Amino acid sequence: MLHETKTTTLQNVARGLLGTFMVVAGTGHLTFVRQDFQAQVPDFVPLDKDAVVLLSGVVEVGLGLSLLLLKGKNRVRMGVGLAAFYAAVFPGNVHQYTHHLSAFGLNTDKKRLARLFFQPILIGAALYSTGALNARQRK
């Protein structure tokens, strides 16, 4: 079981920014950039691309709100869960790059490739901002 760790002001600010980013991104899935997000749904996903975008938008809003509101051990778990979510959606970024799909202003392979390196930063931010990097398991 993970135990709670104290977070610093920098971690709290990072968590607030990341949580806000997730709520805005999730809202975008549901509204103003819905079509752009469809470019990231890999062809191997056996569901309608729009349905995947809508479902992932709901998940992102929930993750963002949880990131902003959870405390203690639940916050640490949230960090691990969010990091796993970022890892799970990474194939979508790869799909956008390998299929040369323009979305979100990523209209060159160079820009799409550069974006691939942003995902590990998000994973690290999720773990850092929630204290999950410092959490220890009790034996």
Report which of 127, 135, 136, 97 is spatially closest to residue 11, judged by C-alpha positions: 127
pLDDT tens, residue by residue, 86-116: 999 999 999 999 999 999 999 999 999 999 9
Q: What's the confidence (pLDDT) of residue 138? A: 45
- The pLDDT score that the predictor gives to residue 134 is 84
What's the pLDDT band for 3 if we cut at 50, 70, 90?
low
CA 11 to chain CA centroid, Å, is 17
- pLDDT tier, 81 (very low <50, low <70, confident <90, very high otherwise): very high
pLDDT category at 137 given cuts 50, 70, 90 is: low
Both structure tokens of 43: 């062809």
Is the predicted pLDDT of residue 5 greater than 90, yes or no? no
| pLDDT at residue 2, as a whole number | 59
What predicted TM-score, i.e. pTM, was given to this entire model? 0.89
Total residue length of the chain:
139
Q: What is the predicted pLDDT for the residue at 32? A: 93
Residue-range domain boundaries for the chain: 9-129
CA pair distance 78, 25, nearest whole angstrom: 17
One-letter-per-residue 3-state SS of the chain: CECCCCCCHHHHHHHHHHHHHHHHHHHHHHCCCHHHHHCCCCCCCCCCHHHHHHHHHHHHHHHHHHHHHCCHHHHHHHHHHHHHHHHHHHHHHHHHHHCCCCECCECCHHHHHHHHCHHHHHHHHHHHHCCCCCCCECC
Tens digits of residue pLDDT in 10-34: 999 999 999 999 999 999 999 999 9
**pLDDT above 70 for 1:** no
Tokens coding 39: 């470019």
